Copies of this chain bind each other. A is one copy, B any other.
Amino acid sequence: MRMSAGELQAYLVKEFPQAFGPGRVHEVVRVDASGISLKLEAGEEHLRPGATVSGPAMMGLADIAAYAAILAAIGPVPLAVTTNFSINFLRKPAPGAIIADAGLLKLGQRLAVCEVALRAPRPEGGDPSATEGEEELYAHAVTTYSIPPRVI
Contacts and interface: CB of A to CB of B under 8 A. Distances in A.
Interface of A: 15-16, 18, 45, 49-50, 55-56, 59-60, 63-64, 78-79, 81-92, 103-107, 110-111, 113, 115, 134, 137, 140, 142, 144, 146
> So how many copies of this chain end up in the complex?
4
Contacts of A15: 49
Nearest to A103: B134
A86 B63 CA distance: 12
Contacts of A106: 88, 90-91, 134, 137
Given A45-B18, A78-B49, A104-B134, A144 B83 contact: yes
Contacts of A56: 56, 59-60, 63-64
